Amino acid sequence: MPVSVTMPRLGESVTEGTVTRWLKQEGETVEVDEPLLEVSTDKVDTEIPSPAAGVLTRIVVGEDETAEVGSELAVISGEGEPAGGGAAPQAAPAEEAAEAAEEPQAEAEQPAVEEPAPAAPAPSGAGTPVQMPALGESVTEGTVTRWLKQVGETVEVDEPLLEVSTDKVDTEIPSPVAGTLLEIKVAEDETAEVGATLAVVGAAGGAPAQPKPTPTPTPAPAAAPPAQPEPQVSEPTPGVSYNEPAAEAETAPQPAKVEQAAQPPAPTPPRVAAPVAGGEQAAGYVTPLVRKLAGEHGVDLGSVNGTGVGGRIRKQDVLDAAEKARAAKAAPAPAAQPTAPAAPARAAEKPQPSAKRGTTEKLPRIRAAIAKRMQQSLHEMAQLTTVIEVDVTKIAKLRAQAKDSFLQRHGVKLSFLPFFALAAIEALQRYPIVNARMDLDGGTITYPEAENLGIAVDTERGLLVPVIHNAGDLNLGGIAKRVADLAERTRTNKISPDEIAGATFTLTNTGSRGALFDTPIVPSPQSAMLGTGAVVKRPVVVNDPDLGEVVAVRQMVYLAMSYDHRLIDGADAARFLVAVKERLEAGQFEAELGL
């Protein structure tokens, strides 16, 4: 079936792109994920990969021409298929009738070409589409990380069908209906926009659609089908592209082919099963990219613990295992040389350089998203930072008195962060301009009905910001429990999309790593963000009622608030910070702590 190549969305505000160069010409063969053309927008120049394997039968948009997002750029057909899909099948019967008397041999060849044509469109006409859901307010696309069902398998209503990853969250997509998975339209490691069709689920017992692998030759004998899929599996694996997302033809159909190849005692199955004997049995499906990378670095996939969704082995897991293997090989040499006990002690004191020195790795998708948003926020706003110093000695004493009973009552440890959060929420209620957002083009200022507090969480994937919705309705204990719960589920990748969107004000604890203060970047469309530094003991001049001004050791912290100076004046920011300071220094939290 012909596949349409469309102009992808290359950014939230990008609506069109210009074709700068075609890397393939009409009539040439292309592989899945092979660069097909180059596109330029006002923000980025990039290559567009082929969504399917076959022949480039028609170029719709020529070089130096501009096309809107979603419009058709070219058509790719399978080998032996007509280019347009409609005109060619109608012309074939006419030619067949005209040449039937002169060349009887053509009658035998025409049905062989036309025979697969009716079967291809049949499955896509019936069934319920499975669409990419909206996984957050600012999420416009998601990447399929793993299909939990394969074509032809039955599914129940709400049964997990596939796993999807975005720049904010990884989640499972359930089946909307019960039936049979007829067709997979977006393969693993491929990205689809919100609303795009991912698969088609039809009535139970429905005929599954043919996936889109590299086309198999039609003149194959009837007795040889088990032997044909084996070259199709073994050939693409060594030539798989390093450009992600991985090829659709090399992902979804491949596990089924490996299972078929493992049944007959032919000499070829070991070639297919050997590279994946450890990894696929231990951690499920492994992409061709990961398999090839493991082979190049000599990594046994069976010994790798995957950090992906459901324990899936990712490329970074293989690279980390390779680094550990190299470090293990290098470790015995220096250990065998020293004979005196003092030498190993000195060696242990010297910090070891990172194994990533002198290397280049692919930019993670979440890091690219963070970089884009931070740069966008700085360009959109006139950001300014105001810093204030706060004495939290009274809070430190309250924590020491109440930490044990608080842990027993709420099940979480009592840190300084809930105090900072509660004081900030109360100040937001007094000064709602800090919680507002401005639309300069529309000429409006919007004051939210609630204080939705974002909490920046440091994870292995990068900085993520889960949100405490309606934080103004919570007391100190409720905030502490929500912070602990959201942070834990964010780090373990169990956060839901709704819990990571909709913040109106963000709190970031930069002091958790010892920083005194920094100048946070306000994430758009919010207007302010508060950073809390490290709580440290310092000599401070205090005013004692009996002794007057004296120098005493106090627990001090810096609070730094960055804000959009287009909306919030310096006086507004100062009033907000002073309100937070007065609430914290008063230390009147006994009722909240049950003291």
Tokens of 26: 């009409």
Using only C-alpha atoms, what is the Rg of the chain? 31
Q: Which of 320, 469, 565, 572 is catalytic?
A: 565
Residue 81: predicted pLDDT: 62
Indicate the SS3 state at residue 100: coil
Give every CB contact of residue 261 below 8 A, 6+ residues apart in sequence: 226, 229, 230, 233, 268, 269, 272, 273
Q: Encoding tokens for residue 270?
A: 């070991």
- pLDDT of 449 reads 93
Percent of the chain with pLDDT over 70: 70
Question: In terms of C-beta density within 10 A (0-12 exposed, 13-18 middle, 19 or more buried), how is residue 350 classed?
Answer: exposed
Give the DSSP letter of residue 520. Answer: P
**Spatial contact of 189 and 147, defined as CB atoms under 8 Å apart:** no
Amino acid at 531: G
Q: How confident is the model at residue 537 (pLDDT cuts 50, 70, 90)?
A: very high
- 379 carries an active-site annotation: no
Q: What is the pLDDT of residue 297?
A: 80
| Average pLDDT of the segment spanning 570-575 | 96
- 426-453 pLDDT per residue, tens: 999 999 999 999 999 999 999 999 999 9
Nearest to 185 by CA among 170, 177, 193: 193
Helix (H, G, I), strand (E, B), or coil: what is residue 19?
Answer: strand
Nearest to 301 by CA among 283, 289, 288: 283
Task: Answer whether residue 131 shows pLDDT above 60.
Answer: yes
Q: Which helix (H) or strand (E) holds 200?
A: strand 197-202
C-alpha span between 162 and 178 (Å, rounded):
15
Average pLDDT (463-486) is 93
Q: How many CB atoms lie within 10 A of CB 441?
A: 6
569 catalytic residue (yes or no): yes
pLDDT, tens only, 38-77: 887 654 567 888 888 889 999 999 988 888 888 999 999 8
Sign of the C-alpha dihedral computed for residues 215, 217, 223 and 228 taken in this order: negative
Q: Inform me whether the pLDDT recorded for 582 exceeds 80.
A: yes
- Mean pLDDT for the chain overall: 76
Q: Which domains does the chain have, with CATH numbers?
A: 227-328 (no CATH), 367-593 (3.30.559.10)
Q: What is the pTM of this model?
A: 0.48
Q: List, in order, residues 6 or more apart from 330 with CB less than 8 Å away.
A: none
Give the angle 49-54-60 at the CA atoms, nearest 5°: 65
Backbone torsions φ then ψ of 439, nearest 5 degrees: -110, 100
How far apart are the C-alpha atoms of 476 and 590, rounded to whole Å?
11
